[in-house]
């Protein structure tokens, strides 16, 4: 009797294993596990975003409140938000990182299962290969997150080093917050609305520090795109070269492609 029970258990395990090894079963398992972890990070995002929406409503900016809510829902659905509201740029960067970290072990385990299917007898069948390809595409698509990051630049510093960039790459800059001043006693200004040229922000080729590429105002609503002219080390900093008397700091969202 005991032997019979063990045999039934073994058969059940083999049956379960066979089902788990099918692309459809692997996809179902992935979706269930991914949904569970995403629910947690989505809930965290909502809890962090609601106070921001509330503050906007209190300030009478209902349009911005609606915009932030819409963008939050898009992030929760895994949709890209190309122009996040300034109030949630940092929050979305943190969310993207948390989402990726939560999904990574599930994705890796799922891809190992798919590779095992391809290595087996069914992996020689075209329909199986096509099914694995479709499942893998869905699994890997979940790793696509925003490539922007938020950088902080102090007016008294040498700037934020972007590192070695290649000719033809695109730098995308969008003002987030902050003000700075080029001289003691001067009224601090946002570089995105600067009336003084010294308060602008610029992109500098470190091999030619005198060559500054000025970033225009208005990037908060219309991000600035700069095409890298030469292979070189680049830095983003305040336009004023005399750093000793500078005060304040600003934040920008930046994305470099490809």
Q: Which domains does the chain have, with CATH numbers?
A: 2-141 (no CATH), 149-257 (2.60.120.430)
- In this predicted structure, what is the pLDDT of residue 213? 93
Give the Cβ contact number of residue 114 at 10 Å.
21
- In this predicted structure, what is the pLDDT of residue 52? 96
Residue among 253, 249, 157, 244 nearest 204 (CA): 157
Residue 113 has phi, psi (to 5 degrees) of -65, -40
Q: Quote the CA–CA distance of 187 and 183 in Å, as a whole number.
A: 9
Contact residues for 83 (Cβ-Cβ < 8 A; gap 6+): 174, 223
pLDDT digit string (tens) for the chain, length 258 residues:
443 443 334 334 333 344 447 999 999 999 999 999 999 999 999 999 999 999 999 999 999 999 999 999 999 988 878 778 888 988 888 888 888 889 999 999 999 999 999 999 998 999 999 999 999 999 988 766 556 677 889 998 888 999 999 999 999 998 888 999 998 888 999 999 999 999 999 999 988 877 789 999 998 888 899 999 999 999 999 998 888 889 999 999 888 877
- In this predicted structure, what is the pLDDT of residue 145? 54
- In this predicted structure, what is the pLDDT of residue 144? 60
What pTM was estimated for this model as a whole? 0.54
Q: Quote the CA–CA distance of 122 and 125 in Å, as a whole number.
A: 5
- In this predicted structure, what is the pLDDT of residue 3? 38
- In this predicted structure, what is the pLDDT of residue 218? 92
For residues 132 and 230, the answer to whether their CB atoms sit within 8 Å is no
């Amino acid at each position: 009797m005991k032997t019979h029970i063990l045999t039934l258990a073994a058969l059940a395990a083999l049956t379960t294993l066979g089902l788990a090894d099918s692309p459809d079963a692997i996809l179902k398992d992935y979706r269930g596990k991914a949904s569970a972890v995403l629910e947690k990070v989505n809930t965290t995002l909502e809890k962090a975003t609601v106070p921001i929406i509330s503050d906007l409503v209190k300030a009478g900016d209902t349009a911005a409140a609606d915009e932030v809510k819409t963008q939050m829902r898009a992030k929760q659905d895994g949709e890209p938000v190309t122009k996040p509201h300034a109030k949630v740029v940092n929050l979305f960067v943190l969310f993207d990182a948390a989402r990726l970290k939560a999904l990574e072990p599930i994705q890796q385990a799922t891809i190992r299962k798919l590779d095992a299917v391809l290595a087996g007898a069914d992996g020689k069948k075209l329909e199986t290969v096509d099914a694995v390809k479709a499942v893998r595409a869905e699994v890997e698509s979940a790793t696509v997150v925003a490539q922007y990051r938020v950088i902080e630049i102090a007016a008294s510093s040498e700037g934020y080093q972007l590192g070695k960039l290649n000719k033809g790459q695109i730098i995308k800059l969008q003002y987030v917050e902050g003000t700075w001043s080029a001289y003691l006693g001067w009224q601090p200004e946002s570089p995105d609305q600067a009336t003084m040229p010294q308060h602008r922000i610029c992109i500098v080729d470190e091999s030619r520090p005198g060559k500054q590429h000025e970033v225009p105002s208005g990037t908060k609503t219309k991000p600035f795109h700069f095409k890298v002219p030469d292979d070189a080390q680049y830095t983003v900093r305040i336009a004023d070269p005399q750093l000793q008397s500078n005060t304040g700091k600003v934040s920008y969202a930046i994305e470099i492609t490809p």
